[in-house]
Amino acid sequence: MSQAGIINTSSGPVPPTIATTYQTDSGSATPAANILNVLATDTTANDVDGISTSGSGNTVTVLLTNRITGTATTTDGVTPVNVYTFALGATPGTYLFYTRVVVYNLTSSLSAAYASYRAVRTDGATATVIGATGAFTMEEGAMSALLVQNTTSGNNVLLEVTGYNGDTLHYLALTEYQFVS
């Protein structure tokens, strides 16, 4: 007769203790029916480490913080399209934004990519751009006619894009930021 597992633990190693509660930065999670869900997402929430965790029920969520994402489509060279608007909030301080935008032209099968740094100060009511935006531009053919711009309006930071006539362009943007007050 064979044994499927240890019957007696009086001799030999004791089986390890299995965690029953998982502590996170915010709350805790307890497996249900031996299942612990671990999920990941991003958030615009400000966290000095750029990452945080939360727990509830049988789920742990890992949050990449300080991130702003957006998508847009343009079909002409006249109408600016807002990729995202980010409210700076009521706390005075300084932001540093690192933005990356990739673009694909569905009509002409061309591409472009952009990366930029910009600094913005807020007094809690009005956004003020500090100095010039530092940018890297990679454009293929007629994609040099695109306009991708970091702007401010009131106490908000915006990313706006303008395509060119007759072509359908898809944009994907990711911005990471740091904030100090």
Q: Over the stretch 122-157, which tens digit does the pLDDT of each residue have? A: 999 999 999 988 999 999 999 999 999 999 999 999
Q: Over the stretch 1-19, which tens digit does the pLDDT of each residue have? A: 555 665 666 666 776 778 8
28 and 79 part of one domain? no
**How many CA atoms lie within 13 Å of 58's alpha carbon, on the beta-carbon side?**
8
97 and 84 part of one domain? yes
Tell whether pTM > 0.75: yes
Q: Over the stretch 42-80, which tens digit does the pLDDT of each residue have? A: 999 999 999 999 999 999 999 999 999 999 999 999 999
168 and 136 part of one domain? yes
- Residue range(s) defining the domain that contains residue 21: 1-65
Strands 26-29 and 51-56: parallel
Among 22, 50, 65, give the residue marking a domain's end: 65
22 and 95 part of one domain? no
24 and 82 part of one domain? no
Among 42, 65, 88, give the residue marking a domain's end: 65
CB-based contacts of 33: which residues, under 8 Å, 6+ apart?
A: none
Asked if residue 83 lies in contact with residue 72, where contact means CB atoms within 8 angstroms, the answer is yes
